[in-house]
Amino acid sequence: MPDKPNAKGLWLRLIRLIGVIVPSRLRSGWRQEWEAELRYREQQLADWHKLNSKTKLDLVVHSLGAFRDALWMQTYRLEDDMFQDMRYGWRMLLKRPSFTLLAVFILALGIGGSTSIFSAVNPVLFKSLPYPHPERIVSIWDLAPNGSHLDGTFGTYSELLERNRTLESIAVLKRWQPTMTGNFDPELLEGQMVTASYFQVLGQSPVLGRNFDPSENRVNAERVVILSNKLWRRHFNGDPTIIGRQILLDESNYTVVGVMSPMFENVISQQGEVWAPIQYDMSQPRSWGHHLQIVARLLPGVSEKQARNDLSLIAESPIPEFARPPWAALKQGLIVNSLQDDITSSVKPALLAVLGAVLLVLIIACVNVTNLLLARGAQRRGEFAVRSALGAGRSRLIRQMLAESSLLAVVGGALGMAFAELGVAALVALSPPGLPRLDAIRVDGSVLAFGLIVTAFIGLAIGVVPAVYASGRDVQSELRHSSRRTSGGHLLTRRTLVVAEVALALVLLVSAGLLMRSLQRLFAINPGFDSSNMLTMQVQTSAARVDTDVINRFFAEALQAVREVPGVSGAAFTTQLPLSGDYNEYGVRFESESATDSDVGYPAFRYSVSPGYFETMGIPLRRGRLLDAHDRGDAPLAAVISESFARQLDVDPIGKRIHVGPTDRPWYTIVGVVGDVKQMSLAASQTDAVYVTPDQWPFADNARSLVVRSDPDAAALVAGVRKAVWSVDKDKPIGRVAMMSDLLSASAAERRFAMILFEAFGLVALVLAAAGIYGVLSGSVAERTNEIGVRLALGAQSLDILGLILRQGAALTLSGVGIGLLGSWAVTRLLAKLLYSISATDPVTFVGIALLLTLVALIACYIPAQRAARVDPLTALRVD
Amino acid sequence: MGKSYMSYTMALILHAVERGYSHGFDVMTITGLASGTVYPALRRLEDAGFLNSKWEQPGIAQALQRPARKYYEITKPGRTALTQARERFRLSQLEPLVADQPVHQKG
């Protein structure tokens, strides 16, 4: 007797389950066919006494194959209700092209806007860095006494390298801008000097050639270089024989040992195209300078916290083998941050704010289209009544409405994607210079997926309310009445939606207003110098030359040549240009202080400036004298300090002596005090500064900025000034040409970026809210024509009717404004980081924007109100 | 699916049905193809008009205490298409693979 097959085998249950996705009209046949086959087979196996675990597994595998079959069955859906609904919906949408176009356009704005913002935000906020195990990459900073991040020193790096127990690899890097020369125009490259471990930390290796060898980090080792794929293609036409060839950088020969992959993204310095081994050892004084960035990769399984503890322990317990100078004694400890946070933290607030803003716009757009659909639903009541009288069930009507809203969303989404492509291009063009991972901003798979999800969500969101209203009515009464009667619940919903729209728009507009006022205040700040009609550019000498006198002589001669250019009324060189991103700080110690309590000294910006700098920049002299041509190398060392720095001393600073940096050098005597200058940004408060002449500074700075003032348009002088510099030495690269006024506005680029987007979104929100109010009131006037006719017939004046409708509109607007003010009060504090010297609940902005929105809304109310006032009672009463 | 083109797999399945392997599982067994391949192919062949499907007599199924099975028959256009496909794919070389005896008559 054969075993009775188990009627409830897993395979049969799988078939029942999979059958759920088969189109319903084919489902029972499909299930029967599969069940019959599986049970036949099962019976057969049982008859043969072969129903064992292996054959049972076989049956399960076969039943899993049914899934593919069921998927294929989806093609039959084309004939299903859903597609009928779609076709019908499509016809209905085409019937009212103006409605459809408007709705599609509004949705496309919302979807396109949010998708393009998402594309910018995604790589920065949500995607991890494009390296293997990016969560293990950290950056390490020295902690300054004032709590700020300080670049690391080579000494600290060497100590950490030896003593750490939590890092897999650790590297230092510094910016390097070599000039590439040869039988072509000299080209200034952006690159980095790195330790050989740099690419290991990032988990990358060259696609061509090899990585650096640690031996190449030794002083006087052979000079080698790795190129970015872009540079290799641009300059060497992608020639694979480049490996082993020599190129001329800063007048020295470098052997190319590797080319990076085109996929390699150098997130630490996005423009970096060339890398060479940094050649330091502890015998050099510069090995204790705070000018290196430290990055490291944690050992697998080590958390950031463990690494932090490990490194703090090292910082707290110096050992004799690694003697530290006072200014790099790590007294305050070290900062360990994930690299991801490190490079994104500065733009995060702006991006999050912009993302929030665009989502508000998206919601407003949805509310608006929902309202349009509701209004149309009211006009189509008769049609729905007829369909339902003919036997369409409630669910069928809901599906019909959802099909229409989905169609709108899909078309809107498709157009939105086109908008997104444009939006991304605009964003990249608008983006602040500090925006990380710019190369990763594009419409890619995840961005498309975001757009799709948003579209699908919108299709449902905008359809649900109208669908429920359209389907939930009494057929009998609908058929009896004309389609012009009011229906209370439906209008109430529309009004609620409009109130929500006004409230959301107000939140956006208030945020935009706050940002705008911050920016105004920021630009009202005095940078400390006169930025008008000033041309700036950076002139470099090659880093290979270390002869201080040669370099200083070149800059002096170049300056002389520039001053002779017609139109130039003043020119000077400075090692640090305000608001350009230059950053060079030294610890300054006053002679009056005992050496023990000032290990590090006061941090102050150090400028080596040619005589005439203050006059050219328009920096005012407060006391004493300015630096002049007498402050040469053989003269007594003179320094000028800034006003804020002078306040550190209780006494008159003139004549006091200071050390700038190391204490083993001669004292500088303070000869003058000048006005404060904003160095890092307009918003930054740090203005302590020390100015010396290049001749009296122990090193020669290779890169100096030229500032040129002219009476006519300074921008026209670029060519002439360049030529003058090159007349002294034609191989000196000139870069970073900019008008000082542009640098000034660029220093607020992140705030400006957020503000422009907020303004654009605020404007869209304002228009949509006004359109929403207009739509609801027009609908209400149309539905109340009859009532208005009666009122007029009974003696009401036109003005009464006008007031009636305006009051209705004002009630909607004011409710929205009220809620919006409360919402803004709750939300704008999230913007705090982007605001400058203005409170997140600034009453002027709140009241001003509320008035603006009310005014615009009332204008939108006026048109339907006037139409109502002009109703002819006879015509109105005849309608019914 | 265009009627003019038939893939090798489809031709093989049509060939099997023509040889009397008229149930989905029989086709799977004889061709060695997976169920997820055979069934969609059968449906496409049916849609193209190369196959007809019918349910077996309810009496047989009842007697065996299982639902009625579906079986497939080749149509006239199906035969024409098969002839062309055989030439194109040299399906005759595969004859030994598809035995002349329907599988369920074995054992």
pLDDT, greater one: A488 or B52: B52
- A343-393 pLDDT tens trace: 888 778 888 888 888 898 999 999 988 888 888 877 777 788 888 788 777
Q: Which residue has the tokens 């030994």?
A: B96
| pLDDT for the residue numbered A543 | 56
pLDDT band with cut points at 50, 70 and 90 for residue B103: very low
- Write the CA distances from A533 to A59, A79, A530, A712, integer angstroms: 84, 72, 8, 7
Q: Which residue has the tokens 């031709």?
A: B11
CA distance to partner chain A, nearest, from residue B37 (Å): 8
Kindly list the residues of chain A whose beta carbon comes within 8 Å of any beta carbon in chain B: 29, 32-33, 35-37, 39-41, 43-44, 48, 61-69, 72-73
- A540-592 pLDDT tens trace: 876 555 678 888 899 999 999 999 999 899 999 999 999 887 888 888 888 87
Phi first, then psi: give them for residue A605, nearest 5 degrees: -70, 135
Give 3-state DSSP helix, strand, coil % of chain A, rounded to 5: 55, 15, 30
3-state secondary structure A381-414: HHHHHHHHHCCCCHHHHHHHHHHHHHHHHHHHHH
3-state secondary structure A252-296: EEEEEEEECCCCCCCCCCCCCCEEEECCCCCCCHHHHCCCEEEEE
- Is A318 exposed, middle or buried (CB count within 10 Å of its CB: 0-12, 13-18, 19+)? middle
- Write the CA distances from A773 to A159, A499, A664, integer angstroms: 68, 8, 75
| pLDDT for the residue numbered A79 | 66
| pLDDT for the residue numbered A189 | 85
Cα torsion A54, A55, A58, A60: sign: negative
> A62 and B28: CB-CB below 8 Å?
yes
> A62 and B66: CB-CB below 8 Å?
no
Name the closest residue on chain A to residue B22, using Cα atoms.
A37
3-class state of residue A625 by DSSP: coil
Output the pTM of the full model: 0.69
Contacts of B37 in chain A (CB under 8 A): 65, 68
* Residue A232 to residue A436: CA distance in whole angstroms: 23
* Residue A92 to residue A466: CA distance in whole angstroms: 15
A48, A62, A73 ranked by CB distance to B35: nearest: A62
| pLDDT for the residue numbered B91 | 65
CB-based contacts of A443: which residues, under 8 Å, 6+ apart? A115, A116, A119, A417, A420, A421, A424
Mutate to test the interface with B, among A32, A38, A43, A58 (most CBs of B within 10 A): A32
Paired sense of beta strands A602-608 and A689-692, if any: parallel
Mutate to test the interface with B, among A41, A51, A61, A69 (most CBs of B within 10 A): A69
> B66 and A66: CB-CB below 8 Å?
no
> A67 and B34: CB-CB below 8 Å?
no
| pLDDT for the residue numbered A642 | 94
Contacts of A72 in chain B (CB under 8 A): 39-40, 43
* Residue B18 to residue B12: CA distance in whole angstroms: 10
Which residues is A658 bridged to in the sheet? A590, A668
Q: Which amino acid is at A268?
A: I
* Residue A431 to residue A429: CA distance in whole angstroms: 6
* Residue A412 to residue A415: CA distance in whole angstroms: 5
Contacts of B25 in chain A (CB under 8 A): 37, 40-41, 62
First-last CA distance in chain B: 38
Q: Which residue has the tokens 């990380």?
A: A436
> B36 and A48: CB-CB below 8 Å?
no
Q: CA B1, B5, B11: angle at the middle one, nearest 5? A: 100
| pLDDT for the residue numbered A209 | 94
Residues A699, A550: contact at Cβ < 8 Å?
A: no
Q: Which residue has the tokens 């994104």?
A: A344
Paired sense of beta strands A224-227 and A252-259, if any: parallel
Residues A658, A582: contact at Cβ < 8 Å?
A: no
3-class state of residue A343 by DSSP: helix
CA distance to partner chain B, nearest, from residue A273 (Å): 51
| pLDDT for the residue numbered A623 | 92
Residues A716, A549: contact at Cβ < 8 Å?
A: no
3-state secondary structure A50-116: CCCHHHHHHHHHHHHHHHHHHHHHHHHHHHCHHHHHHHHHHHHHHHCHHHHHHHHHHHHHHHHHHHH
- The structure tokens listed for B82 are 């098969």
Residues A645, A690: contact at Cβ < 8 Å?
A: yes
Contacts of B38 in chain A (CB under 8 A): 65
> A37 and B43: CB-CB below 8 Å?
no
Could you tell me which of A854, A859, A868 has the C-alpha nearest to residue A774? A859
CA distance to partner chain B, nearest, from residue A772 (Å): 48
Contacts of A69 in chain B (CB under 8 A): 35-36, 39-40, 43
Mutate to test the interface with A, among B28, B35, B46, B70 (most CBs of A within 10 A): B35
Q: Which amino acid is at A529?
A: F
Name the closest residue on chain A to residue B38, using Cα atoms.
A69
Number of CB pairs, chain A paired with chain B, less than 8 A apart: 63
CA distance to partner chain A, nearest, from residue B72 (Å): 11
Contacts of A39 in chain B (CB under 8 A): 66-67
> B70 and A35: CB-CB below 8 Å?
no
- Write the CA distances from A29 to A33, A43, A816, B53, integer angstroms: 6, 21, 56, 12
3-class state of residue A467 by DSSP: helix
Name the closest residue on chain B to residue A47, using Cα atoms.
B107
- For chain A (length 880 residues), average pLDDT per consecutive 10? 55 87 86 89 88 88 88 77 80 86 90 89 84 93 78 91 94 86 78 94 94 92 94 92 91 92 89 91 76 92 93 91 83 89 82 88 90 81 79 79 88 92 88 76 84 86 82 61 53 86 92 88 87 89 70 92 92 92 83 60 89 94 93 92 88 89 86 92 84 90 90 80 87 80 82 84 87 83 83 87 89 94 91 85 93 91 87 73
C-alpha torsion A665→A669→A670→A671, nearest 10:
-140
- Write the CA distances from A502 to A103, A450, A461, A781, A831, integer angstroms: 18, 27, 19, 20, 20
| Model ipTM value | 0.85
